[in-house]
Structure 1
């Protein structure tokens, strides 16, 4: 019988790597695994997803176009990653598992956000389009519920980093490495986290 459906459940608070980007000296994006630094968690999480996808769907490979239903359960309603950015880590891990050929197979996607303090996780269901179709509608509620309001993101962290970095620079024409603190020439700068983390080539080499 043709296998046209898969489900993956990964326990733990979902994370996103969309705000992290470590580049090498040639500007190529990389994702370190065992540098001993905090950013290892992005690659480790991707590997965990790949392992769970393989374990929960042994021997299955979905080769055709897919509909995806993703339910993300966070610990907290107030503090969690942007749900719209969470898919990159998840589908990269699913692709790495071999359950799908390429994340470009996902042609239709529904994402739902929930909160479960005791059991944070994500649940992903994949449906082959040759056997399934998606229908949905948005309806007005009979009784309005309490709104969940959002505030603009704060720029305080970046402003603090910038002030400290400039203050600590002996040469105002150079940036300083956030690891060793030494000034860096423009040609030796390696950036991560959208430019908010500055690393010199020597410290970068020591990460691996």
Structure 2
């Protein structure tokens, strides 16, 4: 039985942790052919699945696993949260059939690197029946300059690019009315029969949603 596999996927890693699309029954769904920006999450998983299978033909890891994930970002300043990057990656690995379920990952080490010319991730999977992991944390003899992080200043003003709420000002009555707009067809949604995504910022009417599948 095979107890080892390695996957390398080139390109800037992305995470879907901040994007949630649910139907009226509360089921999470990732569209892949809506023609919108959020299609990239599902397409990225499909890319991972295809590459993982091509790089490891006829391999199925059935036991509990140790995972070593090295993520190489293009930029040190602008990239997804590394703590969230594992979800997209392991969902893609599971879809490839290389593993049975991502619940098999019982131990994981994630390391962040930067490679402007060749962003990618490298994942190694080790079966626990044959491999074990050891690690240590040692104090440096020479202390480096710390890489500091600062709070992000959030813009509390509503962005003009928000397509979900169309504010129409009635100059005669001096009132503001809100309309729900479908993110795909840009038509007004007049009923409550629609799906929400991205924390309620994105709305999709039922007609457009059905076309996705």
TM-score by length of 1: 0.87
Aligned partners of 2:165, 2:23: CA distance in 1, in Å?
A: 24
| CA deviation string 1:60-110 (max 9, x = no partner) | 111100000000000000100011111111111111111111100000000
User: What is the rounded CA distance, in whole Å, between the counterparts of 2:44 and 2:51 in structure 1?
Assistant: 11
Which stretch shifts more, 77-86 or 28-37?
Answer: 28-37
CA, structure 1 residues 9+181, in 2 after alignment: closer, same or farther (shift >3 Å)?
closer
- Runs (4+) of structure 1 exceeding 4 A deviation are 161-167, 178-183
Matched, 1:89 2:88: yes
Q: 1:123-165: CA deviations, max 9, x gaps? A: 0000111111111111111112222222223432884269886
Deviates more, 1:35-44 or 1:160-169: 160-169
Rate the CA distance shift 1:34–1:3 in 2: closer, same or farther, 3 A.
same
Say whether residues 1:41 and 2:40 are aligned partners.
yes
1:50–1:157 distance in 2 versus 1, CA, 3 Å: farther
Tell whether the 8 Å contact from 1:14 to 1:72 is kept in structure 2 after alignment: yes
2:173 maps to: none
TM-score normalized with structure 2 length: 0.86
Relative to structure 1, is the Cα distance of residues 169 and 202 closer, same or farther in structure 2, using a 3 angstrom cutoff?
Answer: farther
Distance (whole Å) between structure 1 residues aligned to residue 34 and residue 92 of structure 2? 20
User: What's the CA shift for 1:20?
Assistant: 1.1
Q: Distance in 2 between matches of 1:34 and 1:196?
A: 19
1:7–1:57 contact (8 Å) kept in structure 2: yes
Matches within 5 A, 1:72-111: 72-111=71-110
Does residue 56 (structure 1) correspond to residue 55 (structure 2)? The answer is yes
Structure 2 gap segments, 5+ residues each: 170-175
Shift of 1:176: 3.9
State the partner residue of 1:187: 192
Query: Structure 1 95/166 Cα, relative in aligned 2: closer, same or farther at 3 Å?
Result: closer
Q: Which residue of 2 aligns with 1:201?
A: 206
The correspondence of residues 128-207 of structure 1 with structure 2, limited to 5 A, is: 128-156=127-155, 159-160=158-159, 168-169=167-168, 172=177, 175-179=180-184, 182-184=187-189, 187-207=192-212
SS in 2 for 1:29: coil
Residue 8 of structure 1 corresponds to 7
When the two structures are aligned, how many residues end up with a matched partner? Answer: 207
CA contact (8 A) 2:167 2:177 kept: no
